[in-house]
Amino acid sequence: MQWNAETYACLKTLITKKFGKAAIGTGDEGGFAPPIYHPHEALDLLVEAVDTAGHSGKIKIGIDPASQSFFKDGKYDIGFKTNKENAKNADELGQLYHSLIRKYPIVLFEDPFGQDDWEAFASFNKDCSIELVGDDLLATNIKRVKTADEKKACNSMLLKINQIGTTIEAIAAHVHPSRCRLQTCS
């Protein structure tokens, strides 16, 4: 918790220095929302904040890109914030993710593709060296967990009772003999 607080404070200072005080507004989950448009810009800021806080090598990064929000007509438009279309197919987006994994201390991707893009998840998982978490993909739903297992679409899941609606259904998703390592979230 201390490392997180120290890194957050350093990140706030870095963003203020680079973009001005107006850029330290936060999103609905408490994250900063500076005027950046490319994944490497955010990751460079995070890595610099971790280093400035004195925690290099101790803090790793997990990413939930919310890919469903920029998935349209079978493409992922990662330029949606710039109003300049930058549509990528799933393979191209997967290549971008792999390049980020090679460059930054990323240990987890949660839902890096659209929630029904099973083929993209399965393809990416073939050579994914980190945790590939199915959250929206699985929705703590036993049918979706079985499908993910059959397609080898992910290697980890979030188990959230509020996604499925009942404890019984969440337990069924939890005990499915899939290849997923489980992470739980209340």
List Cα–Cα distances, 48 to 22, 41, 100, in angstroms. 20, 11, 15
Pairing mode, if any, of strands 106-110 and 156-159? unpaired
Catalytic residue among 17, 21, 29, 126: 29
Pairing mode, if any, of strands 71-72 and 106-110? unpaired
Strand partners, 63: 109
Which residues, 6 or more positions from 81, have their beta carbon under 8 angstroms from its beta carbon? 37
Catalytic residue at 110? no
**Measured between alpha carbons, how far is 8 from 84 in angstroms, rounded to an integer?**
30
Are the C-beta atoms of residues 134 and 180 closer than 8 Å to each other? yes
**Measured between alpha carbons, how far is 57 from 93 in angstroms, rounded to an integer?**
27
Catalytic residue at 160? yes
Catalytic residue among 12, 88, 146, 160: 160
How many CB atoms lie under 10 A from the CB of residue 17? 9
Residues identified as active-site? 29, 160
